[in-house]
Amino acid sequence: MKKILSLVLPLLLLTGLVLAGGYKSALLSHPLDANTYPTVVRPGDTGVYVEIPITNYFSYSYENISTRLEVQTPFKGIKTQNFIRRIGPGERKSLFYKIDIDSNANPGEYLVNHYMNYSYTEYDDDGDPHTYNITVKKVIAITVSYSEDIEITSVGFDPIEIKPGDETLLKVSVKNTGSIPVRDVEVSYSGFSETSTTVSTAGAVSETKVNFVPLEATKKTISSIAPNETKTITFKMRSVKDTAVKAYQMPVTVSFDGGTLTDNAVINVIGKPDMRLAGFQSDKETIKQGQLFSLSVQLENVGTGSAKSVKAEILNGNATANLTGITTSYIGTIDPDDTGTAIFSLEDTNPGKHSVEVKVSFEDEYGNTMSKDYQVEYIITKVPPDYSAVIIAVLIVLGIIYFVYRRYKRKKELEELVK
């Protein structure tokens, strides 16, 4: 910030007539104000520029103009001399000096000597030149001021991204950029609720929705901040479970005797998918040993964000050693309050009631992978033994035996008839 320091700079090089060898001298310039950058000079300021403009208001040309700023404590000279080869009639030039201010300087007015040496030439009535060398000393008054000044160096949340129901910290850092301690600095924030207005034929109705619950005071006081010191204030809060997924802006206010500063902190509430087992069933009321069947597992997203790349797989263990088929199902994306179904095509030769583990993996909108495990059951019915082949074989054997017996008996009967 550019500030302007008023310097009492009487640059009147000669205030009257000077008779030298009977010839009249002249004035180089009238007194002018000087400018410095920065303006209100404070203890510890470095690289303070002092600008002194000079103008030749007369018809003489002045040459070999050398100037010097004689600085003493609490100032330190960085550039204290200037030289101008020539300044013609009506010409204006600026002298620049550079100084530092001691950090321990006391407030008040300090006097600084300014010297100017220059020469000019006059011609007498006979046309003969006469050169005069002039030295002028003037006093400059420089005022050193104390000031209270602070700035907000940083404001933000940690973490900056949270899910509904999570806690976070608002951090506000304040630095004293002035020359003296600043006391009783109040830091506060707002914006943890939103007010919406609905207009209907019955009139306007306002509704306030709380998005964040302060877990401590929303206004805190810093008792004192020393010059060049930075202090940080934190505010703890929690988002409510039904906070809408979006970015929220919270105004931050810093107040002290010297004024009020404002800034904004932004926090992102991101969606969090959460899967729940809604149910499971088979496509057959009775599943027999070795029979192909479909097992459907229904999943519900009860979270606040979309579940992406949803995949379900049956983890085979000792209890399902006889389970074969398609044990992985890809569902895709399940939006909040929506469902998706994983379908497995299976076959199991082991009769009985089986409980298998289904692992469901998915990603949130930021690519973070999550998973949940569920237990799913199904029953395999034992198939009774099939004796039809045995019966047929027995019947065939009995038929053969009967046929052989009949032939044998017939042969005996014929033999008896022959006798």
CATH of 150-269, one of 3.40.470.10, 3.40.309.10, 2.60.40.10, 3.30.470.20: 2.60.40.10
Is 326:344 a contact under the CB 8 Å cutoff?
A: yes
Domain boundaries of the chain, sorted by first residue: 19-144, 150-269, 275-381
Q: Does domain 19-144 have CATH number 2.60.40.10?
A: yes
Topology alike, domains 150-269 and 275-381: yes
Strand partners, 239: 212
Instruction: Report the candidate in 43, 18, 20, 41 with the shortest Cα–Cα distance to residue 28.
Output: 18
Is 327:344 a contact under the CB 8 Å cutoff?
A: yes
Q: Can you tell me the distance from the alpha carbon of 244 to that of 5, in angstroms, rounded to the nearest whole number? A: 53
What is the structure's pLDDT at 82?
Answer: 94
CATH topology of domain 275-381: Immunoglobulin-like (2.60.40)
What is the structure's pLDDT at 43?
Answer: 81
What is the structure's pLDDT at 318?
Answer: 46
What is the structure's pLDDT at 33?
Answer: 60
Is 115:65 a contact under the CB 8 Å cutoff?
A: no
What is the structure's pLDDT at 8?
Answer: 28
How far CA 81 is from CA of 13, 118, 278, in Å, comes to 17, 14, 87
End-to-end CA distance of the chain: 150
Q: What is the pLDDT along the chain (419 residues), one digit of tens a residue?
A: 333 333 322 333 333 223 222 223 344 544 446 777 888 788 888 999 988 888 888 887 888 899 999 999 999 999 999 999 998 888 988 889 999 998 888 888 888 888 888 887 788 888 888 888 888 888 887 888 776 788 999 999 999 988 888 999 999 999 998 777 888 999 999 887 776 555 556 666 667 788 899 999 999 999 999 988 999 999 999 998 888 888 899 999 999 987 899 999 999 988 888 899 999 988 888 888 888 999 999 999 988 888 999 999 998 654 556 788 899 999 999 998 899 999 999 988 888 888 889 999 999 887 889 999 999 988 888 877 666 777 787 788 877 887 777 777 777 767 676 66
